[in-house]
Amino acid sequence: MEGIVIKSTGSWYRVRTTSGEETECKLKGKFRIKGIKTTSPVAVGDHVVFEKPPGDNVGLITEIKPRHNHIIRKSIKLSKVSHIIAANIDLAVLVVTIKNPLTSPGFIDRFLVTAEAYHINAALIFNKIDIYGEKEMARLDELAAIYENAGYPCLSVSALKGENIQQVKALIKDKVCLFSGISGVGKSALVNAIQPGLKIKTGNISYYHSRGKHTTTYPEMHPLSFGGYIIDTPGIREFGLVDFRKEEIAERFPEMRRYMHQCQFNNCTHIHEPNCAVKKAVENGEIPLSRYNSYLKIVNDDYLEKEKWEWE
């Protein structure tokens, strides 16, 4: 039998067949994905083959169908183990809040760099606009301008008040969409607003730290009545990059991609070389400083695989 993994706990998987039948499955034997150590080889969104011995109510996954993509992160910076967030995604949505909790621009940029690396379209949804004051609204405009300019659709919504949910529906219709972001930004609340009736559990924000409480514990795919799917995922603390070579980071910034071919040196790192078109564009304000700073931070971070550093 064949189906799609709609929920994963890392030890069991819920698989839905095209006829809508759902089976709890385990893995048959060990699966390895070449070259990477992952917490679980199967992810939500995977198409799998499974068998179900008659009389048994647990299925066994025997094969993972080839993926057209997946998105991977490291759970913590220095960890050797990576984590497949989801597979076969049409749109990677990062849910962001500017207040309660605050998502850092560095986090946004590492997420987007990863989506670029896997050639997955990405979009940003700024949630909780109902609680933003003047300062946060100004920051929202600033961030939306930066990311729209880079080519990422940006929406501003309130899951709580149901504001601009129609725009979200238009963006995600007929696609398999990943909803990612730090805990407490309202990923699950947003899914509930988009598809009333799901009643996904949401958590509150801790008063002292303005942080979420990691309410969603396992990624789960929800079908949408107007077409498409959302994969709601647990909040993440850090978005560590997996398997990057330093020299490919610049290409993962669409704004830098526009200028880098004009640099004098074709192996320009855009850090210290003369006649660097990227640096010039930063000075002119054509590339936002915050994006360039994220680039420097990523390139200088020790946790990029040491053996792949070719610039030293």
188 binds ligand GTP (CB under 6 A): yes
Task: Pick the closer one to ligand GTP by CB: 28 or 99.
Answer: 99
Task: Pick the closer one to ligand GTP by CB: 187 or 252.
Answer: 187
**Beta strand pairing call for 13-16 and 2-8:** antiparallel
Going by C-alpha positions, the residue among 299, 234, 248, 270 that lies closest to residue 118 is 248
Kindly determine how many residues on this chain lie close enough to bind Mg ion according to the rule CB under 5 A.
4
* Smallest distance, Mg ion to C-beta of residue 135, A: 27
250 binds Zn ion (CB under 5 A): no
Helix ranges restricted to H, 118-259: 134-149, 165-172, 187-194, 246-249, 254-257
How far apart, in Å, are the Cα atoms of 9 and each of 46, 93, 211, 218?
14, 21, 23, 6
* Smallest distance, Zn ion to C-beta of residue 268, A: 3
Binder to Zn ion among 83, 270, 295, 299 (CB under 5 A)?
Answer: 270
Phi, psi angle pair for 50, to nearest 5° = -140, 160
299 binds Zn ion (CB under 5 A): no
Binder to ligand GTP among 103, 164, 180, 183 (CB under 6 A)?
Answer: 183
* Smallest distance, ligand GTP to C-beta of residue 294, A: 22
* Smallest distance, ligand GTP to C-beta of residue 278, A: 34
Give the CA radius of gyration of the chain. Answer: 20
Task: Pick the closer one to ligand GTP by CB: 17 or 204.
Answer: 204
CA dihedral (265, 268, 274, 276) in degrees, to 10, reads: 100
233 binds Mg ion (CB under 5 A): no
When CB distances are held under 5 to 8 angstroms depending on the partner's kind, the choice from ligand GTP, Mg ion, Zn ion, none that residue 263 binds is Zn ion
When CB distances are held under 5 to 8 angstroms depending on the partner's kind, the choice from Zn ion, ligand GTP, Mg ion, none that residue 204 binds is ligand GTP
Q: Is the peptide bond before 153 cis (omega within 30 degrees of 0)?
A: no
Amino acid, res. 196: P
Q: Is the dihedral of CA 229, 234, 239, 240 positive or negative?
A: negative
Q: Which region among 178-186, 262-270, 275-283, 303-311 touches ligand GTP (by CB under 6 A)?
A: 178-186
